[in-house]
Copies of this chain bind each other. A is one copy, B any other.
Amino acid sequence: MVAALNAAYARLKTNAKRLNDTLQYSCQWGSTPDGGMNRLSGNDDDQKVRDWFVAEVTRYGCSHQVDAMGNIFAIRPGQNNTLPPIALGSHLDTQPTGGRYDGILGVLCALEVLRVIHEANITTYAPLAIVNWTNEEGARFSPAMLGSGVWAGEFSTEYGHSRVSSEGTTMGQELQRIGYLGSTPCSYQANPLLAHFEVHIEQGPILDVAEKPVGVVKGAQAIRWYRLAVRGREAHTGSTPMDRRSDALLAAAKMIVEVNKIATTAPLSTRGARGTIAVINSGPQSINTIAGQVTMNLDIRSPFDQDIEEIEKLCKQGFEAIGEEHGTSLEMECIWTSPATNFHPLMVECVRQSAKSIDCHHEIISGAGHDSVYTSRKVPTAMIFARCRDGISHNPAEYSRPEDCAAAGEVLLGAYLRYDEHIRQQNESKTEE
């Protein structure tokens, strides 16, 4: 049972124009001529937007801490400061050819909630934290969701610092260079949160098709990533008959088609399976030499852990048959795995109640990984999706209408205040006992 919204809060509203104006303002750091963003984790633009973020939260009465992974926690005290804060967080870094909403909208919605509460002179029960997680994208330093992953104990801080970019610099060096290698331990134990809410653009077309501005996210898909290395035999394209080849790129092409077939065949397809190969490199890259080696990355997802196992099994079977046909060998290595996530039922209900009050929502499962997937392993977590046009993301054309952004912020405000009320009631009933 979710606590009813405190009557004092019922009149609170987010400011759609302010939210959108601030978001666009913050995109001056890292914007690209095509309207997109290239604000890679730890680069100069990341430093500038962080400096702006810290100045902004300070202006609204927050102190802040930077942890050893550069995660920034802006803290606004509550009535009961013996409790850890309820966090509203996301990330300010982007893909190299990214858009203006992925991650950024979540931090900016949290900032808008802070502004509304500050201006209404409200002191919430638990302290509030606005969080910017470091390197969610994993585009410059692999893996993705590194800052939240270290905080949740998935990776060690040493591992996080040692990640290397393609230019040869490490995450730790770059945090030091931009002044965000903080002294607070990066740990859910040493620097705890009471809960974590996150607004994020959907990055898919489901809300657009359903014509709903906001998604109540019940959980996140299971994800598994693989490195595939196909080996054939280099040979001359002109003088090698078609039936005497071991063409690694032809075998790889059939594997790409096979993955697509598996993910689009019922019953896996009707349960939301996804299978994609998006990264490929072949050698020796000579127009008249049959490719002898190909490396690829495979990304498979499903809302159900058992379906992930099934997809993997079918891929392996299909790949083996292709290898036999073409005389190619295959190395297949799982490089990352994330089980299916179910968000915290009471927090999800807070999101749902808040969304219902403005009649705008659709229930959804996240297809993407998010910082909330890691936080949910340690603290109650829920997410709110904002509709994005045509489902386009990781692309300069990524776009969410200002009113959809505002609706997501409005739902965040209501969900957060409901959950804070729930915490108050829970603690007061304990005190009475």
Contact = CB atoms under 8 A, between A and B. Distances in A.
A140 to B, nearest CB: 11
Which of A235, A247, A257 has the most chain B CB atoms inside 10 A of its CB?
A: A235
A263 B250 CA distance: 13
Interface string A234-263: 111111111110010110111011001001
Closest 9 CB pairs of A and B: A204-B239, A238-B367, A239-B367, A253-B256, A253-B253, A238-B368, A203-B239, A203-B236, A237-B276
Interface residues of A, number: 68
A330 to B, nearest CB: 16
A292 interface: yes
Nearest to A204: B239
A204 B235 CA distance: 8
Contacts of A240: 203-205, 274, 367, 391
Nearest to A258: B253
Contact of A95 (B269, B279, B289, B393): B289
Interface of A: 95-97, 139, 144, 202-206, 221, 223, 225, 233-244, 247, 249-250, 252-254, 256-257, 260, 263-264, 269, 272-280, 282, 284-292, 297, 299, 301, 366-369, 391-395
Nearest to A365: B239
A236 B367 contact: yes
Given A253-B253, A276-B247, A238 B369 contact: yes
A392 B238 contact: no
Contacts of A366: 238-239
B368 A288 contact: yes
Nearest to A394: B289
Contacts of A239: 202-204, 206, 366-368, 391, 393
18 contacts: A144-B288, A203-B238, A204-B235, A204-B239, A204-B241, A206-B241, A234-B392, A235-B393, A235-B394, A236-B368, A237-B274, A238-B366, A241-B272, A257-B257, A278-B288, A280-B282, A287-B299, A288-B299
